[in-house]
Amino acid sequence: MFYPLWLVVLAWAALVLAGLSAALVGLDITRHRQAMTVMEITWPVTALYLGPLGLWAYQAFGREGVRPHKSFRQRVFVSATHCGGGCTLGDILSENALAAHRVTIAQSPLITMFVCDFVAAYAIGILFQYWPIRASTKLTRGRALRAAIQADTLSLVAFEAGLFGWMALVHPLIPRPSPQSPVFWFAMQIGMAVGFLTTLPANAWLVRAGIKGAL
């Protein structure tokens, strides 16, 4: 599909800026390792869709040792990044797999994207929760898996709802998802930022209720 030149340039600029932000976070993590290994993946991925905001958050209270006693809002933000990291990786993997295999559900590229993205995001999101739970507790594998599902399901659904709502809104402009298009990934980047906003209330409740611990 043909897109205006200004939109293509804007998309490339946003993606390159986000890529640089993610690279800077990843480079800094090599010198300041995170207490939880999963956050060494989460923070660069966060910068990949939040761009400079993700970089700022990492430097302000995400870098190991910078702020050991985070405020409630900061803990909620970090909790949301943890959810967003798993969702984003799942969405990226799903979109590239769909591009390679051209699977269609109900003859709708949009429904296909939603179903496949959700399944992949949920699988990786639960893994992102299970990993630190198993590393920091003595729970059995089964109980750790149940704890991960309890901690991440609401958060993940809230994130994907924001992302899917945005992608449904821009669907008339991008009738068929195309991972080869910078405009498509720019739209996904905005959608992931929207998903981050929609998952914040869910994470606030989960952290306040003690269902999701500090990261």
Domains of the chain by residue range: 5-208
CA distance 106 to 112: 8
Q: Provide the pLDDT for residue 175.
A: 64
Tens digit of pLDDT for each residue in 40-69? 999 999 999 999 999 999 999 999 888 778
Query: For the residues 20-37, what does the mean pLDDT come to?
Result: 95
Using DSSP, state whether 35 is helix, strand or coil: coil
Count each helix (H run) and each strand (E run) in the chain, helices first: 7, 0
pLDDT tens by residue, 125-179:
999 888 888 887 888 889 989 988 998 899 999 999 999 999 999 988 876 667 7
H or E segment and range at residue 200: helix 182-208
Minimum mean pLDDT range among 53-62, 100-109, 143-152, 189-198: 100-109
Q: Which two tokens stand for residue 30?
A: 């090599």
Cβ neighbours, 10 Å, residue 182: 20
φ and ψ at residue 8, rounded to 5 degrees = -65, -45
Q: Output the pTM of the full model.
A: 0.91
> Which pLDDT belongs to residue 136?
79
Predicted local confidence at residue 54, as pLDDT: 97
The tokens describing 125, both together, are: 């999101």
How many other C-beta atoms lie within 10 A of the C-beta of residue 196?
26
Query: Is residue 168 within 8 Å of 117, Cβ to Cβ?
Result: no
Average pLDDT of the residues in 194-209: 95
Strands (E), the chain: none
User: Residue 145 corresponds to which tokens in the numbers above?
Assistant: 């898996």
Residue recorded with tokens 């640089």? 20
Residues 213 and 135 sit within 8 Å (Cβ to Cβ): no
Q: Which residues pair with 105 in a beta bridge?
A: 108
Q: How far apart are CA 105 and CA 145, in angstroms?
A: 29
The pLDDT, as a whole number, for residue 156 is 95
> Measuring CA to CA, which residue among 113, 91, 95 is closest to residue 104?
113
